[in-house]
């Protein structure tokens, strides 16, 4: 007799609601708006979210629909490098525009941190599937705390819950999630904090 693992609904909800492109899009809008609540900040944030996060997510969903990718989390590690390469091109393009046109420093910092952290993930992923969710959770905690002070620490339980959901869903091993989380805290987060402050 075989037994199956029943995964609670909240774990699937957490992993979907806080997937890296969705969370990065939210940060791109919220952080510059929080620092300077103007129409210009809002425009920069929304345009960055659409170009850097919306376009890649739509492309991935289309590739999943066509059977090129197995799922929108790009679970097959061999598929991750070309997907991430496309994302990094968009990040670099928007970053260049934000620097040239003197966009909000929060957007510049997020995109520099995302680009550099993403390069390492893209190199490592074909051999070891380090958790992108974990990286974004760690980086987000640092980014929110840097920009909003102790209020940003309210995200810690959310970040830990999302990391746990990735393990429970068996999308990553514990070491893959933990290393992604620590990497996000120390690398992605520290780059953001260094540029903003």
Q: What is the pLDDT of residues 44-63, one digit of tens each?
A: 999 999 999 999 989 888 98
Using alpha carbons, select from 129, 157, 144 the residue that is nearest to residue 23: 144
Say whether 18 sits in a helix, a strand or coil.
Answer: coil
Structural domain spans, the chain: 15-196
Residue found by looking up tokens 């590690």 in the block:
77
Query: What does each C-alpha distance from 191 to 95, 123, 195 come to in angstroms?
Result: 15, 19, 6
Could you tell me how far CA 176 lies from the centroid of its own chain?
15
Summarize the confidence of residues 8-29 as an average pLDDT: 92
Residue tagged 């780059």 (tokens): 191
Mean pLDDT, all residues of the chain:
91
Q: In the prediction, which pLDDT does 123 show?
A: 84
The token pair that represents 104 in the structure block: 């909000």
Q: What does the alpha-carbon distance between residue 119 and residue 124 come to, in Å, rounded to a whole number?
A: 9
pLDDT of residue 83: 84
Model confidence band, residue 1 (pLDDT cutoffs 50, 70, 90) = very low
Q: How far is CA 187 from CA 89, 99, 195, in A?
A: 20, 21, 12
Q: What is residue 131's predicted lDDT score, i.e. its pLDDT?
A: 92
List, in order, residues 6 or more apart from 180 with CB less than 8 Å away: 130, 131, 132, 133, 134, 135, 137, 138, 163, 172
Q: For 78-136, write each residue's pLDDT tens digit.
A: 777 788 888 899 999 999 999 999 999 999 999 999 999 988 888 887 788 899 999 99
| Burial grade of 157 (CB within 10 A; 0-12, 13-18, 19 or more) | exposed
Neighbours of 53 (CB within 10 A): 25
Question: Residue 7: which pLDDT band, with cuts at 50, 70 and 90?
Answer: low
């Amino acid at each position: 007799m075989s037994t199956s693992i029943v995964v609670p609904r909240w774990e699937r909800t957490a992993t979907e609601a806080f997937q890296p492109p969705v969370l990065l899009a939210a940060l791109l809008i919220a952080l510059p708006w929080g620092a300077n609540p103007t129409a210009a900040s809002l425009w920069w944030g929304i345009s960055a979210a659409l170009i850097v996060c919306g376009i890649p997510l739509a492309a991935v969903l289309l590739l999943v629909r066509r059977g090129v990718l197995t799922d929108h989390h790009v679970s097959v590690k061999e598929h991750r490098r070309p997907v991430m390469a496309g994302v990094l091109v968009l990040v670099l393009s928007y970053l260049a525009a934000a620097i040239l046109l003197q966009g909000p420093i929060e957007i510049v910092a997020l995109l520099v941190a995302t680009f550099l952290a993403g390069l390492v993930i893209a190199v490592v992923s074909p051999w070891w599937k380090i958790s992108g969710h974990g990286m974004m959770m760690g980086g987000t905690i640092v980014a929110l705390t840097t920009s909003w002070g102790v209020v940003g620490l309210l995200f810690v339980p959310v970040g830990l819950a999302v990391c746990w959901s990735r393990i429970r869903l068996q999308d990553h091993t514990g070491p893959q999630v933990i290393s992604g989380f620590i990497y996000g805290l120390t690398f992605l987060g520290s780059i953001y904090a260094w540029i903003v402050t």
